[in-house]
Structure 1
Amino acid sequence: MAAPLTDAGEFESWLNDRLDSLEVDREVYGVYILGILQEEESDEEKEDALQGILSAFLDEDTMEDVCKQIIKQWTECCSRSAAKRDAEDAEVQAIASMIEKQAQIVVKQKEVSEESKKRKEALLAQYANVTDEEDEAEEEEQTSGNNFTGNDKSLFKNTNVEEVLNRQKQKRDQAREDAQKKKEMDKMQREKDKLAKQDRKEKEKKRTQKGERKR
């Protein structure tokens, strides 16, 4: 199993400087040493592998110190990288948790909105029922006040018909009375005209008779 990955840039920079100070070719050995540190599990395995590389150009005492320095620096870099990754993971987790909470809030608000909408619809429906009942009650009161219910409607209808018939009868009676009065007046006028005509004839006859006597 490979060792945890570290911040290679930071460690490589330190390793290159250390190899340069030992006059070891970093282009050749730097990548090799980094591979050993990443692949080997324990510090002992790392140290044995490093000694196999550095023994070609370092004495035994120097080689042991350099191996320990390399392993120590690698471990510290790994720890810092792990802490950094943990911090990044914690930040990512915090962001994810915040997003999840916001999503829950949105869902809850949506549920509350739906519940509020249902309550509003229920209140509107209840208000509509109350309004309908009030309208019906008002119509009943108006109908009751105007005698428009049940048998009263028929009575009212019959009363209206009777009133219409009475008015028509009154009109006919009035017309008959007016006609009778006019007839009487016309008769009187004719009698008057007849008497006046007869009177004129009598007067004309008398004048004629007087004229004949004078001749």
Structure 2
Amino acid sequence: MTDLRLVIFDVDGTLVDSQADILASMSAAFEAVALPVPGRETVLSIVGLSLPEAMSRLAPGADKATRGAMVEGYKARYMTLRSENGTAVSSPLYPHVRGVLDALHAQPETLLGIATGKSRRGLDKLVDGHGIRPLFVTQQCADDHPSKPNPAMLKAALAETGVAPRRAVMIGDTSYDMEMARAAGMLAIGVSWGYHDAARLADAHMILDDIRLLPGLLQQVWEQTA
């Protein structure tokens, strides 16, 4: 029996606020194929999905080749913005995130992980740009798994760390994160500062309004699952 516990974070809308670049990149993707650009709320509603799945939902009438061109257009614009502005500007950490991550990482029994709809290249740029790669023992991304809410990412993280689902939590800002966590048999913690409003987080076991409260909340969780 292990005393280890695993805390897995979504990235966009949970750890970092990348909406400006997401919106600009999606606009570039649609404009490149001469399709009308969806509104802000519509675009943010698909954050967390892998890009092919996101394009399928945003442009259901487009053929496969067009959606593929949109994915590449999005990636190209996103990379350009990140290169021009730097990670700290393109995808700034939300307030107090770094301090909480450092505090959790300092707990010997607590392992940290990531489960994101980003590509491996995008995730690498982000964790290296913020200097947070060493904090995470497992990093799952869209290149290696089906899109959220399929639980494959979380199952892989559990397998890599040897932690049981009952000793793991998923923290995210979207309904896809909450559905994924439940499908993996894990506790689902929603955050209120991201891209889906509280009404879409109905599958969350609990909702967090201030990340500074997370260590205390997790301690209660671990005591209940000991």
What is the TM-score normalised by the length of structure 1?
0.28
Larger relative helix fraction: 1
TM-score (norm: length of structure 2): 0.26
Q: Which is strand-richer, 1 or 2?
A: 2
Q: Which has the higher contact order (CA 8 A, sep 6+)?
A: 2
